[in-house]
């Protein structure tokens, strides 16, 4: 079982948090902070597994993470999950994010995740459900996500047009954003990933 | 209307959407909290509007804020509103928000049940999908119960997208509502073979998750998973299955044997490292499970360890980590194999990666021996000094203590060394584990008597240097060791060199800064020391020391009397008064030491942790019984005149009382606890001293004087553990030298006699003798303590509820779903009959009912499919079996029997209780038995023996049974000659069994001729003999084309039905088709035919038989009276088709319904059994069986198996058994055996039935 999926950046700012077990908001934040603390102090070339931390709640749980450019993808899992399997899944995970979000944006970066956290959740829902892996086939996930997005568009119809226009206008100054903050739009495109097999 | 919508969305344009919110937060870095609170105000305004789009937008923003840690539970109702929007866009937003912030105690969840149900049955698959996803996150027991049936229906949805989600969510439903597991399981199992890989993967996922917690219930699925493993290409599925097998193999070693080959294939063929690693892991599990039986597998273990070493040496840190992880699994069972890689593991301790270091630490635990313990601990101590970060250091500390104290300090040869290690550990800054060190100190000092002198000296130094430990507020955790030090010094004060000094150290004013519980111990032990000082000064004419001691006490104790801690205060004032009185006496020169010492006399012994639990309850003491008459439930009861009730009344009412009262008692106990907790004068029982430390509040608040320490922390006089390592080495060398001398002497002595003994070689484990006489005082246990080790599982574990036997779900009549187990299905409530005003609700109900009807149809179809599946799998098994036969024949020719396989089989057979031999279990056995089944080998031996030395005379003499010789011979010929002929294996088994019995007689007789010796042996080993495999299938009819066997089982659910399973086996080279089965109904028994067909119509068998194939069909018969056996005539017609021609064939048979077949194995408790016998409603009857020559447990197993009984109780050679007929007759047996004579006394409420059953039992045993 997967207990939680967390995505945060190099500064520990949460970009996505999905807990498959209930914690109240304060504890969730604490967990994110603690996990960030544990993960961030590790070197680049150490193993991707680590133990300890409150979230893990026992020797059965483990943190499995990957670090891509500015983002950490962390899965908290118990012993029924294969460690290397989850690492592969994170790879698929990031690829799917990239592929799906790619349709809307030319170059996916951390900012896209920030602004479209709801989309990211919807994508994740096609991959992991209630703490169990639902689908590992990337193409299948993308197909389903696309179909749902299409449905959303068709529902919006005429009524959605003005809203879309406004949001398009609003999004026009998006590319300026990176300058305001010190992250820079480093791509997490797949070819840059250290391939894992 | 449209205008309104457009207007609404134009309004919406100017609302902030999620992107705006994010952007805003980013632009307000400085006053983020303030900005967000204004946003929340806006959101609250938006939520008040009617426009659902606005609401959805607000909820979407809330979801984001929730991630940032803001509580949004106040909007729960609005979330439900958005969830119930008809638009997918909004629905999705609503469900997402719900999945992020709903949980079990969210009260609006109750309102969602209907909405979710509606969404689940929505025609749009994405509505359903979104609802399932959301539900998976916030399902509650109520939702699970109400929706279980809907979700189950979705498991057979046409769209795989829905199916896979429905299957996956079932796990969550099971967790919340365990009752749903049994009814849903067949369908779940079915999904393992779903055509869609996603659905299949989901089903595998769920079953693996279930099986991980309760593996034994899923053993029967092993063949299915095995098939999936060899056919699936999805790595994710494969990994899950392989992991599952890893959990199953320890339960079933034979499974391991089957797995090795496909796993090795996978290892060679796969390119995915993840899969490869899991394969290796499971291979390890298999080898471990196998090697526990057979020693020759240690070579394979070595191989695995070698492979893991390669992983650990890999530069990829992930593989290194996993290698260590897998290594620790081997460590548990094969510590020796891992020990040889000590170098590598110690090397990993130096790794820069903490995860890897921790794993290596785990491994160290198993690597220590007497020889290397000191060396390893020394290395760890170095790491402790170097380690940065308290977590890793604390981990090191606990590991050091674990390693040293494991298995009762087995590896410690020098306790002085261990004490000094512990003392060294006290110098750790900021550790949380002070109490751990303290408890070790206490434990060692108490249990190792020889070490007390040394320990006391060390503790005295520690007390003297207490300022080192308490000097820093950060180091408060460590001051727990002072607790131990003070106690040890006090308790064993007779060993103190200078008690006066220690007494002074214990009464220093700074002690008052320690936590209360430690001060209390200080005060108490100061009194003990005081007593020792007085005693030592006894008889000394100069009484100044004694008086000094009293004065010291009187001077210092008032400080403690002022303590805020009650315990300290109480003890101090008590002791102060005592000392004052003693001082008075001293001044009068009265000898007081004896009296004072008497205060603390007596030895304290360690008590085993579970001692209390294991005190046996004395005979005749019923802890649950009332001591006095239970208080009456109601006043009215009091008024009832007691005389009216006869003696029976209390007998009946008692148990009921206690049941009700147990709850009441628990409630009262709870109330009392509450009361006690609030009562400051009640001394609470402290469960363990360690807990008390942790709970002590306010440690941080005690003002501690800060001392800036720039001096290095080497305390003068404290031991350095390192010196012991050297000392120990020297000691061992000396010992060795001495030993050699001795050996030489011995050798010299021996030389005159025999030749010299082999060289002693390198020092072995046993050679190292401990430095001291270490007499570890064993922990005390109460007399006749119960041996049971009842480490029960955590009662709060949700998986405990899922430990449900699923094996016999499908096999007819075993334990089918009772009505109460069916999932609640929504139906019209009574109120709706009165035409509820809400029409739409009515419509909704109808719509939700329709799919239900459909689903029941589907279910029926599925059932058929399942039957087919089962048949298929049986076919396969038979094919395999055929191969085995060939193998057997090869064996037969060589005259060899596969001994090891036989043994493993044997143990297995004995383990499986004969009472529950269900069809499934035996199926699994067939699947698993790769090696020849024992009976086969035995048969082989028999045949060989028969060929070698036929002794027909002997057989006829010793076996007075009626079975003729001829059939046996033909059987034999058949096995030999018809190599390609497929035979009905179960039937065959029975034959073999008979033969085996014969063989017994045969052998017996032979030995009897030679001398009684071996026959006696035969009698004594009876318990170890394996149970012969049994089958209830018996031959129905046979001709040159087909062989038909059948078995009859009662249907528990319906008292008038029996199920006849018939196996058809094609014996010829032609194709058999159009098989029709017909039975001539009698008045009593009728074959159930499909609706619309006449009473004489035959049933078409729904399959065809290619050459050599067999298959099973089931027929339901209705019977009225079950007290008499009966025979039904019937015919089987079929067409034999080969290349040239096709002929119509007919086979007549007689279906024999024995009375036994109406019995159903029903477990019965002995008390219920006794009651039944006492009731006097039963008629009794008895039979005697002469010349039964088989072990008693075989006999019982036979009765259980062939006649569907279960053993209620067994005492030596006497057993009571029980069974029940499908119409509810009780049948009780009392079986006794004495020297080949078995007497069966039976009771039953139907004498005719009983008579017939007994006849049948007699028949069974006359056949052997």
Per CB-CB distance under 8 Å, the chain B contacts of A117 are: 18, 22, 63-64, 67
Asked if B106 has any chain A CB less than 8 Å from its own CB, the reply is no
CA distance A189 to chain B (A): 22
Q: For residue range A35-77, list pLDDT tens digits in order.
A: 898 888 888 888 888 876 665 566 678 889 988 878 888 999 9
Coil, strand, or helix at residue B1111?
A: strand
Using CB atoms, which residue from A14, A45, A162 is nearest to B67?
Answer: A14
What's the pLDDT tens digit per position in B951-1000?
Answer: 444 333 333 444 444 444 444 444 444 444 444 444 444 455 454 444 44
Stronger pLDDT, B854 or B175, i.e. the higher one:
B175
Three-state SS sequence of B654-706: HHHHHHHHHHHHHHHHHHHHHHHHHCCCCCCCCCCHHHHHHHCCCCCCCCCCC
Whether A117 and B273 lie within 8 Å, measured CB to CB = no
Q: How far is CA B141 from the centre of its chain?
A: 24
B109 to chain A, closest Cα gap in Å? 14
How far apart, in whole angstroms, are the C-alpha atoms of residue B1071 and residue B1043?
14
pLDDT band at B314 (very low <50, low <70, confident <90, very high): confident
- Unique residue bearing structure tokens 């999620």: B18
> What chain A residue is nearest to B62 in terms of C-alpha separation?
A118
Q: Which residues numbered 305-324 in B keep a CB inside 8 Å of some CB on A?
A: 317-318, 320-322
* Chain A residues lying within 8 Å of B92, measured CB to CB: 122, 148, 152
pLDDT at B853 over 60: no
Instruction: Kindly indicate the confidence band of residue B604, based on its pLDDT and cuts at 50, 70 and 90.
Output: confident
Angle at B791 between CA B785 and CA B795, to 5 degrees: 130
Nearest CB to B133 within list A125, A147, A177: A125
pTM of the predicted model over 0.80:
no
A175 and B CB contact within 8 Å: no
Q: Can you give the pLDDT at residue B130? A: 92
Give the distance, in angstroms, between the CA of residue B819 and the centroid of all CA atoms in the same chain: 29
Q: Are A122 and B92 inside 8 Å of each other by CB?
A: yes
Sequence-ordered list of residues with C-beta below 8 angstroms from that of B283, at least 6 positions apart, any chain: B259, B260, B263, B264, B267, B304
Mean pLDDT of B200-229: 88
Q: Which has more pLDDT, B725 or B1110?
A: B1110
* Contact yes or no for A85 and B236 at CB 8 A: yes
Q: Per the CB < 8 Å rule, is B277 touching A1? A: no
> Is the pLDDT at B1214 greater than 90, yes or no?
no
The pLDDT tens digits of the residues spanning B543-598 come to 788 888 888 888 888 888 888 888 899 999 999 999 899 888 888 887 787 888 88
Kindly determine whether residue A47 and residue B168, on different chains, have CB atoms separated by under 8 Å.
Answer: no
- Strand, helix or coil at B1124? coil
Chain B's closest residue to A52, CA to CA, is B391
| CB pair distance less than 8 Å for A155 and B88 | yes
Residue of B nearest to A171 (CA): B19
Asked if pLDDT for residue B1007 goes beyond 70, the answer is: no
In sequence order, which residues have a C-beta less than 8 Å from that of residue B559 and are 6 or more positions away? B509, B512
* Partner-chain contact B26 A122, CB within 8 Å: no
Say how far apart CA B337 and CA B684 lie, in whole Å.
50
Q: Do A129 and B272 touch (CB under 8 A)?
A: no
Cβ contact A155–B87 (<8 Å): yes
Using CB atoms, pick whichever of B133, B161, B320 lies closest to residue A47: B320
Q: Which chain A residues are within 8 Å of B8, Cβ to Cβ?
A: 159
Which letter, b or e, does each residue of B919-933 get, where b requires 16 or more Cβ atoms within 10 Å of its Cβ? bbbbbbbbbbbebbb
Backbone dihedral angles phi then psi of residue B1106, each to the nearest 5 degrees: -70, 165
Asked if B96 lies within 8 A of A180 by C-beta distance, the reply is no
* Euclidean distance between CA atoms B132 and B173, whole angstroms: 11
Q: What's the token pair of residue B222?
A: 């092993």
What's the rounded Cα separation, in Å, for the pair B1193 and B1215? 10
B104 contacts in chain A (CB < 8 Å) = 22
- Gyration radius (Cα) of chain A, Å: 17
Contact B85, A148 (CB under 8 A): no
Distance of alpha carbon B901 from alpha carbon B294, whole angstroms? 10
Question: Hey, are the CB atoms on B126 and A148 less than 8 Å from each other?
Answer: yes
For A19-41, b/e burial (b = at least 16 CB within 10 A) is bbeebebeebbebbeebbebbee
| B1058: three-class secondary structure by DSSP | strand
pLDDT category of residue B203 using cuts at 50, 70 and 90? very high
Residue with the larger pLDDT of the pair A103 and B240? B240
Q: Which long-range contacts (CB under 8 A, 24 or more apart) does B557-560 make?
A: B557/B507, B557/B523, B557/B526, B559/B509, B559/B512, B560/B512, B560/B519, B560/B523
Which has more pLDDT, A163 or B839? A163
What is the structure's pLDDT at B79? 92
Among B104, B130, B358, beta carbon nearest to A51: B358
How far is B1250 from B1238, CA to CA, in rounded Å? 17
Instruction: Indicate the average pLDDT of chain A.
Output: 76
Sorted by sequence, the CB contacts under 8 Å of residue B599 that are 6+ apart come out as: B527, B531
Does B26 contact A50 at a Cβ distance shorter than 8 Å? Answer: no
Does B849 score more than 70 pLDDT? no
d(CA B915, CA B926): 18
* CA distances to B47, B48, B234 from B40, in Å: 10, 13, 46
- Give the nearest partner residue to B168 out of A85, A130, A156, using CB atoms: A130
Best interface-test mutation with B: which of A13, A21, A90, A130 has the largest number of B CBs within 10 A?
A: A130
Of B22, B93, B205, the CB nearest to A114: B22
CA–CA dist B776, A59 (Å, integer): 32
Residue B1105 DSSP class: B
- Which of the pair, B888 or A112, is modelled with greater confidence? A112
Predicted local distance difference test score (pLDDT) of residue B924: 67
Each residue's pLDDT tens digit, A142-182: 888 889 988 888 887 655 566 666 666 655 555 444 433 33
**Distance between CA atoms of B305 and B642, rounded to whole angstroms?**
77
Residue A167, min C-alpha distance to chain B (Å): 8
> Could you tell me which of B476, B491, B1061, B443 has the C-alpha nearest to residue B776?
B443
**From the list A24, A133, A181, which residue is nearest B26 (CB)?**
A181
Contact B354 A83 (CB under 8 A): no
Q: Of A88, A121, A132, which has the smallest distance from its Cβ to B96's Cβ?
A: A121
Where residue B622 falls (left for φ over 0; alpha for ψ -120 to 50; beta otherwise) is beta
Residues of B in contact with A135 (CB under 8 A): 164, 198, 201
- Are the CB atoms for B423 and B719 separated by under 8 Å? yes
> What is the pLDDT, as a whole number, of residue B3?
55
Of A52, A133, A159, the CB nearest to B5: A159
B1213 in contact with A at a CB cutoff of 8 Å? no
Sign of the CA dihedral A148, A154, A155, A161?
A: positive
Among A163-172, B227-236, B535-544, B701-710, name the one with the lowest average pLDDT: B701-710
| Inter-chain CB proximity B5 and A22 less than 8 Å | no
Instruction: For residue B88, list chain A residues with Cβ-Cβ distance below 8 A.
Output: 148, 151-152, 155
B664-708 pLDDT, tens digit per residue, is 666 776 766 666 555 544 444 444 433 333 444 444 444 444 444
> Counting Cβ atoms within 10 Å, is residue B285 exposed (0-12), middle (13-18) or buried (19+)?
buried
- Rounded distance, CA B783 to CA B777, Å? 16
């Amino acid at each position: 079982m997967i207990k939680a999926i967390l995505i945060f950046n190099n500064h520990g700012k949460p970009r996505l948090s999905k807990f498959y077990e209930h914690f109240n908001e304060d504890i969730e934040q604490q967990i994110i902070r603690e996990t960030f603390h544990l993960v961030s102090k590790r070197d680049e070339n150490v193993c991707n597994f680590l133990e300890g931390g409150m979230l893990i709640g026992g020797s059965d749980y483990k943190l499995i993470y990957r670090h891509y450019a500015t983002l950490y993808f962390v899965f908290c899992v118990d012993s029924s999950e294969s460690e290397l399997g989850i690492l592969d899944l994170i790879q698929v995970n990031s690829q799917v994010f990239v592929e799906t979000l790619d349709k809307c944006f030319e170059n996916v970066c951390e900012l896209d995740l920030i602004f479209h956290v709801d989309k990211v959740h919807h994508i994740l829902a096609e991959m992991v459900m209630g703490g169990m892996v639902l689908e590992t086939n990337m193409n299948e996930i993308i197909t389903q996500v696309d179909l749902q997005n299409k449905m959303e568009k068709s529902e919006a119809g005429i009524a959605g047009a003005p809203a879309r226009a406004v949001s398009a206008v609003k999004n026009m100054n998006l590319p300026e954003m990176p300058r305001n903050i010190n992250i820079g739009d480093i791509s997490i495109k797949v070819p840059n990933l250290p391939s894992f097999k | 209307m449209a205008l309104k919508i457009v207007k609404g969305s134009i309004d919406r344009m100017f609302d902030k959407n999620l992107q705006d919110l994010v952007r805003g937060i980013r632009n307000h870095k400085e006053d983020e909290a303030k900005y967000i609170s204004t946003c929340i105000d806006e959101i609250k305004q938006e939520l008040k509007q009617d426009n659902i789009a606005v609401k959805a937008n607000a909820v979407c923003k809330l979801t984001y804020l929730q991630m940032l840690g803001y509580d949004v539970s106040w909007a729960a109702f609005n979330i439900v509103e958005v969830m119930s929007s008809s638009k997918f866009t909004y629905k999705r937003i609503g469900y997402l928000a719900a999945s992020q912030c709903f949980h079990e105690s969210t009260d609006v969840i109750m309102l969602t049940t209907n909405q979710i149900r509606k969404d689940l049955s929505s025609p749009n698959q994405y509505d359903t999908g979104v609802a399932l996803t959301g539900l998976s996150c916030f399902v509650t027991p109520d939702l699970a119960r109400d929706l279980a049936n809907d979700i189950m229906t979705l498991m057979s949805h046409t769209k795989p997208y829905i199916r896979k989600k429905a299957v996956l969510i079932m796990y969550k439903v099971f967790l919340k509502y365990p009752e749903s597991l049994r009814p849903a399981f067949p369908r779940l199992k079915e999904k393992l073979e779903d055509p869609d890989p996603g659905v299949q993967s989901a089903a595998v996922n769920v079953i693996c998750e279930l099986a991980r917690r309760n593996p034994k219930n899923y053993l029967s699925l092993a063949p299915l998973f095995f098939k999936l493993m060899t056919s699936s290409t999805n790595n994710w599925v494969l990994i899950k299955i392989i992991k599952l097998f890893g959990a199953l193999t320890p339960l079933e070693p034979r499974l391991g044997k089957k797995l090795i080959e496909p796993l090795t294939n996978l290892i060679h063929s796969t390119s995915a490292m993840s899969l490869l690693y899991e394969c290796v892991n499971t291979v390890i599990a298999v080898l471990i499970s196998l090697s526990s039986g057979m020693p020759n597998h240690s070579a394979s273990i070595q191989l695995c360890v070698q492979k893991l070493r390669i992983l650990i040496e890999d530069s990829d840190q992930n593989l290194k980590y996993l290698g260590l992880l897998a290594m620790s699994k081997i460590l548990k069972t094969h510590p020796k194999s891992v020990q040889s890689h000590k170098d590598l593991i110690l090397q990993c301790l130096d790794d820069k990666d903490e995860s890897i270091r921790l794993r290596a630490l785990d491994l160290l635990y198993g690597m220590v021996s007497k020889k290397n313990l000191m060396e390893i601990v020394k290395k760890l101590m170095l790491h402790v000094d170097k380690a940065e970060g308290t977590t890793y250091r604390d981990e090191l500390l606990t590991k050091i203590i674990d390693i040293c104290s494991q298995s009762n300090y087995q590896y410690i040869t020098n306790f002085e060394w261990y004490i000094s290690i512990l003392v060294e550990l006290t110098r750790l800054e900021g550790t949380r584990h002070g109490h751990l060190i303290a408890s070790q100190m206490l434990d060692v000092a108490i249990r190792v008597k020889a070490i007390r002198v040394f320990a006391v000296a060390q503790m005295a130094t520690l007390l003297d240097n207490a300022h080192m430990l308490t000097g820093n507020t950060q180091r408060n955790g460590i001051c727990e060791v002072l607790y131990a030090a003070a106690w040890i010094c006090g308790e064993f004060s007779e060993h103190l060199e200078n008690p006066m000094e220690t007494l002074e150290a214990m009464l220093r004013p700074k002690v008052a800064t320690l936590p209360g519980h430690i001060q209390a111990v200080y005060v108490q032990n100061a009194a003990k020391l005081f007593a020792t000082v007085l005693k030592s000064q006894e008889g000394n004419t100069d009484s100044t020391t004694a008086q000094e001691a009293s004065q010291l006490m009187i001077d210092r104790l008032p400080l403690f009397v002022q303590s805020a801690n009650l315990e300290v205060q109480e003890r101090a004032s008590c002791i102060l008064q005592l000392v004052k009185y003693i001082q008075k006496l001293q001044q009068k020169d009265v000898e007081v030491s004896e009296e004072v010492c008497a205060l603390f006399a007596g030895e304290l012994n360690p008590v085993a942790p579970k001692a209390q639990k294991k005190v046996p309850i004395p005979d005749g003491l019923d802890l649950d019984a009332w001591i006095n008459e239970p208080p009456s439930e109601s006043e009215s009861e009091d008024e009832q005149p007691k005389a009216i009730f006869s003696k029976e009344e209390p007998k009946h009412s008692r148990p009921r009382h206690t049941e009700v009262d147990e709850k009441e008692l628990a409630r009262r106990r709870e109330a009392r606890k509450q009361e006690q907790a609030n009562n400051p004068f009640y001394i609470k029982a402290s469960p363990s001293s360690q807990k008390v430390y942790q709970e002590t509040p306010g440690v941080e608040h005690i003002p501690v004087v800060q001392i800036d320490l720039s001096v290095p922390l080497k305390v003068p006089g404290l031991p350095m553990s390192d010196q012991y390592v050297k000392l120990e080495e020297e000691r061992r060398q000396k010992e060795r030298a001495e030993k050699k001398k001795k050996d030489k002497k011995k050798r010299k002595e021996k030389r005159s006699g025999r030749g010299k003994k082999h060289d002693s070689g390198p020092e072995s484990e046993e050679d190292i003798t401990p430095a001291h006489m270490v007499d570890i005082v064993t922990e005390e246990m109460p007399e006749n303590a119960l041996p049971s080790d009842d480490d029960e599982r955590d009662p709060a574990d949700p998986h405990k509820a899922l430990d449900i036997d699923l094996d016999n779900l499908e096999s007819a009549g075993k334990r089918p779903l009772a009505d109460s187990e069916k999932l609640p299905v929504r139906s019209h409530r009574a109120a709706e009959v009165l035409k509820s005003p809400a029409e739409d609700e009515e419509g909704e109900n109808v719509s939700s009912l329709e799919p239900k009807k459909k689903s029941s149809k589907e279910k029926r179809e599925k059932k058929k499919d399942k039957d087919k599946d089962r048949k298929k799998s049986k076919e396969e098994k038979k094919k395999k079996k055929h191969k085995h036969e060939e193998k057997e024949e090869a064996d037969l020719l060589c005259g060899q029997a596969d001994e090891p396989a036989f043994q493993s089989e044997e143990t297995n057979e004995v383990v499986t209780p004969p009472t529950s031999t269900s069809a499934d279990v035996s199926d699994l056995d067939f699947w698993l038995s790769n090696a020849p089944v024992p009976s086969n080998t035995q048969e082989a031996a028999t045949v060989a023996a028969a060929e070698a030395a036929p002794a027909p005379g002997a057989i006829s003499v010793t076996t007075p049974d009626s079975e003729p010789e001829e059939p046996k011979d033909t059987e034999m010929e058949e096995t030999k000659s018809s190599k390609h002929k497929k035979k009905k294996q179960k039937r065959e088994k029975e034959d073999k069994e008979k033969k085996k019995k014969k063989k017994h007689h045969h052998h017996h007789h032979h030995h009897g001729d030679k001398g009684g010796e071996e026959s006696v042996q035969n009698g004594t080993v009876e318990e170890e003999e394996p149970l012969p495999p049994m089958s209830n299938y018996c031959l129905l009819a046979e001709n040159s084309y087909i062989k038909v066997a059948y078995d009859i089982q009662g249907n528990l659910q319906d008292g008038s039905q029996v199920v006849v399973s018939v196996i058809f086996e094609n014996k010829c080279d032609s194709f058999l088709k159009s098989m029709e089965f017909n039975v001539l109904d009698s008045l009593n028994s009728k074959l159930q035919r499909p609706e619309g067909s006449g009473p004489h119509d035959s049933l078409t068998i729904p399959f065809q038989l290619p050459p050599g194939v067999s298959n099973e069909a089931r027929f339901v018969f209705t019977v009225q009276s079950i007290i008499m056996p009966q025979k039904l005539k019937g015919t089987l017609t079929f067409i034999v088709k080969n290349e040239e021609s096709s002929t119509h064939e007919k086979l007549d048979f007689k279906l024999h319904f024995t009375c036994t077949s109406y019995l159903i194995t029903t477990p019965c408790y002995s008390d219920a059994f006794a009651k039944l016998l006492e009731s006097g409603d039963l008629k009794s009857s008895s039979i005697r069986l002469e010349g039964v020559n088989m072990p008693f447990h075989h006999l019982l197993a036979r009765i259980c198996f062939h006649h569907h009984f279960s053993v209620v109780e067994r005492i030596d050679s006497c057993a009571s058994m029980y069974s029940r007929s499908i119409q509810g007759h009780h049948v009780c047996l009392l079986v006794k055996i004495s020297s080949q004579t078995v007497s069966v006394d039976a009771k039953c409420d139907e004498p005719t039935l009983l008579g017939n059953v007994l006849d049948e039992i007699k028949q069974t045993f006359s056949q052997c």
